[in-house]
Amino acid sequence: MIVSVASGKGGTGKTLVATSLALSLKDKHDVQLLDCDVEEPDDHIFMKPSITSSEVVSIPVPQVDEARCTYCGKCAEVCAYNAIAVITDKVLVFPELCHGCGACSYLCPENAIKEVGKEIGIVESGNADGVKFVHGKLSIGQPMAPPIIRKVKEKANKQGVVIIDSSPGTSCPVVEAIRGSDFCLLVTEPTPFGLNDLKLAVETVRKLDIPFGIILNRTGVGDNKTEEYCRKENIPILMKIPLDTKIARLYSQGIPLVKGIPEFRNDFLGLFDKIGDNT
Amino acid sequence: MKELVVLSGKGGTGKTSIVGSLAAIAQNKIMADCDVDAADLHLLLDPTVKEEYEFWSGRVAVIDEEKCIQCGLCQDLCRFDAISDTIDYFKIDPIACEGCSFCSHLCPVEAISMEDNLSGYWFVSDTRYGPLVNARLGIAQENSGKLVALVRQQARKIAENNKLDYIISDGPPGIGCPVISSLSGASLALLITEPTLSGIHDLERVLQVCNHFGVPSLTCINKYDLNEDNTKNIEDYCLKQGVAVVAKIPFDNVVTESIVQGVPVVEYSEGRVAVEIRGLWQCITETLAS
């Protein structure tokens, strides 16, 4: 079973929920935590995993053999990303624009293009306190997160419980992270920013046809419009976490909520039961 | 004309609240919301939309079932697992399709065509603080980087035509494509962090991105009193990196209250948060002038 944790707005508590849910379930289930926020992966700060394997993620980019090339321009014509250009007697490749689709090398009439791997990040796996841990890290200056997210997700063992922590937003990295989940937890806070971005996140999970529920974090500030919205849309609020400086301080120190305040473990076990009822 | 982009790496550190306040303080400027997939700045600036445009970008493959001979070549060669075979025909998953058009070029019976894709909308608005350019990327759409580039380009055009002094951009979280698109070529990046281990980790990564693209940066520590040991660590780290910490904003519920009221915090309260943000803008203008 795959449970993903997402949010439109950043900083609403995805990492807090993903890490505490993993730690609460580990005695009862075979639990894997996949940190798919490969731009800013933070789960390791809380889980402190011992990393046992590391692999480089590359995407295939074209390399042109100019001895064979006739500068016919076919590669530039078929590239949808303008990642390859032909000017009279020269071929220019812009690897940072390349999506690695393979069209240029396959369609080159002279067989002059081969693909070489370009490193865009790494995937690391290990163990953390009885939880199997995997995360990906996008290299600095690289734009494309989805190929790394796909690599992290290849490690998923669907026989157990797989918890996926996603990046904020609603565009391609989020879609890549939560696609194929059995359930998605949307974490939000009761403020106008939280609500605006929650609505976008709800549209996203609905478009992907993933069952979902809400975790309302930092209750006690803001307004009650998020709860009104959930009631009207018939979206279940599965858990509430109060605004509490003690929780914020634990977070600031990199201590998972259920380790700092063990009573929360029951809330997360209850949350998991509710997820079961809603899938 | 100078362009300031506000980034953070980690989401939820206060970028939009601070940009909203800078909009209220700064003179002769335009705002650009470069967070195109979860834009919030409009909630503080109460814009009146003057112009609305469609953003067509990227294409999506479509298989003509009549022509398809079900050879399966497209499925074999698609690197994005976007083509599935259902019981009696092949089908493209428009969400997985990256629009590379490889399949349309190699289909032996030309059964695959590429259709233009409406990816979102962008807007030019008036606000009581000056013009705003913002956008809305469609749900589950790609090309956020291109839409960010378009927002910046339009903001720059308006700034030049109206002889404005500043573009103030609210950036997206993370370090990937839309962040790079918000950052490259900007005059200065303001990095908003918070004194949490996650905040520090993410600040380090976004600062490396700024350095990579040669954009100078300043740091602001939001909610600095949440963990003063971590605040000290951020200050030490920034000192070592040669990045000035130009503001330390205390944790205060007035920030959330002002968001609920839909106004920038400097217009809601004249307390410690407002004083600090006013000082922040002073430091930014001095840095931009030097």
Query: Do B40 and B70 lie in a common domain?
Result: no
Half-sphere exposure of B19 (CA within 13 A, CB side): 36
Query: Do B215 and B179 lie in a common domain?
Result: yes
Query: Do B79 and B205 lie in a common domain?
Result: no
Contact yes or no for B196 and A171 at CB 8 A:
no
Res. A115: pLDDT tops 90: yes
Reported ipTM: 0.93
Q: What is the mean pLDDT of chain A?
A: 96
In a domain, B10, yes or no: yes
In a domain, B244, yes or no: yes
pLDDT for B46-59, tens place per residue? 999 999 999 999 89
What are the start-end ranges of the H helices in B192-271?
A: 197-212, 228-241, 254-261, 265-268
Q: Is A192 on the interface with B (CB under 8 A)?
A: yes
Q: Is B137 on the interface with A (CB under 8 A)?
A: yes
Average pLDDT over residues A261-266: 98
Q: Provide the shortest C-alpha distance from residue A269 to chain B (in Å).
A: 25
In a domain, B51, yes or no: no
Q: Is B98 on the interface with A (CB under 8 A)?
A: yes
Q: Is B130 on the interface with A (CB under 8 A)?
A: no
pLDDT for A56-91, tens place per residue? 999 999 999 999 999 999 999 999 999 999 988 899
Query: Do B75 and B187 lie in a common domain?
Result: no
- Each domain of chain A, given as residue ranges in start order, spans 2-48+129-278, 59-119
Query: Do B63 and B84 lie in a common domain?
Result: yes
Residues facing A5 on adjacent strands: A165, A185
Q: Is residue A154 classed as helix, strand or coil in its secondary structure?
A: coil
Q: Which chain B residues in 260-289 lie under 8 Å from chain A, judged by CB atoms?
A: 260, 262
Query: Do B160 and B253 lie in a common domain?
Result: yes
Question: How far, in Å, CA of A189 to CA of A217, rounded?
Answer: 5
Chain A residues whose CB is inside 8 A of the B253 CB are 221
Q: Is residue A92 classed as helix, strand or coil in its secondary structure?
A: strand
- The predicted structure's pLDDT at residue A82: 93
**Listed residue (B11, B108, B28) closest to B68, CA to CA:** B108
pLDDT band for position B235 (cuts 50, 70, 90): very high
Q: Is A158 on the interface with B (CB under 8 A)?
A: no
Query: Do B75 and B217 lie in a common domain?
Result: no
Q: Domain spanning A2-48+129-278: which CATH class is it, in words?
A: alpha beta
Q: How many CB atoms lie within 10 A of CB B226?
A: 20
Res. B118: pLDDT tops 80: yes
- The predicted structure's pLDDT at residue A88: 85
User: Among B118, B136, B162, where does a domain finish?
Assistant: B118
Res. A39: pLDDT tops 90: yes
- The predicted structure's pLDDT at residue A221: 86
Yes or no: say if B151 and B32 are a contact pair by the CB < 8 Å rule.
yes
Question: How far, in Å, CA of A209 to CA of A200, rounded?
Answer: 14
pLDDT band for position B155 (cuts 50, 70, 90): very high
Question: How far, in Å, CA of B279 to CA of B250, rounded?
Answer: 13
Q: Provide the shortest C-alpha distance from residue B225 to chain A (in Å).
A: 10
Query: Do B112 and B137 lie in a common domain?
Result: no
Q: Is A193 on the interface with B (CB under 8 A)?
A: yes
Query: Do B136 and B113 lie in a common domain?
Result: no
Contact yes or no for A138 and B176 at CB 8 A:
yes
CATH of A59-119, one of 3.20.20.70, 3.40.50.1470, 3.30.70.20, 3.30.43.10: 3.30.70.20
pLDDT band for position B140 (cuts 50, 70, 90): confident
pLDDT band for position B67 (cuts 50, 70, 90): very high
Query: Do B147 and B189 lie in a common domain?
Result: yes
Q: How many separate domains does chain B show?
A: 2
In a domain, B52, yes or no: no
Res. A223: pLDDT tops 80: yes
| Residue B91 CB burial class (10 angstroms; 0-12, 13-18, ≥19) | middle
Contact yes or no for B102 and A106 at CB 8 A:
yes
Task: Please report, for the domain that includes residue B102, its CATH number.
Answer: 3.30.70.20
pLDDT band for position B189 (cuts 50, 70, 90): very high
- The partner residue sitting opposite B256, judged by closest CB among A10, A143, A221, is A221
Chain B residues whose CB is inside 8 A of the A144 CB are 176-177
Task: Please report, for the domain that includes residue B251, its CATH number.
Answer: 3.40.50.300
* Phi, psi of B136, rounded to the nearest 5 degrees: -135, 110
User: Among B118, B137, B158, where does a domain finish?
Assistant: B118
- The predicted structure's pLDDT at residue B89: 82
Query: Do B231 and B263 lie in a common domain?
Result: yes
DSSP string, B154-198: HHHHHHHHTT-SEEEEEPPSSSSHHHHHHHTT-SEEEEEE-SSHH
Res. B143: pLDDT tops 90: no
Q: Is residue A235 classed as helix, strand or coil in its secondary structure?
A: coil
Q: What is the mean pLDDT of chain B?
A: 96
Domain of residue B233, residue span: 2-46+128-289
Average pLDDT over residues B51-76: 95
pLDDT for B9-28, tens place per residue? 999 999 999 999 999 999 99
User: Among B118, B145, B168, where does a domain finish?
Assistant: B118
Q: Which chain B residues in 187-216 lie under 8 Å from chain A, judged by CB atoms?
A: 194-199, 201-202, 205-206, 208-209, 212-213
pLDDT band for position A138 (cuts 50, 70, 90): very high
Chain A residues whose CB is inside 8 A of the B59 CB are 80
Res. B87: pLDDT tops 80: no
Query: Do B33 and B145 lie in a common domain?
Result: yes
Contact yes or no for A191 and B226 at CB 8 A:
no
- The predicted structure's pLDDT at residue A279: 80
Question: How far, in Å, CA of B35 to CA of B145, rounded?
Answer: 10
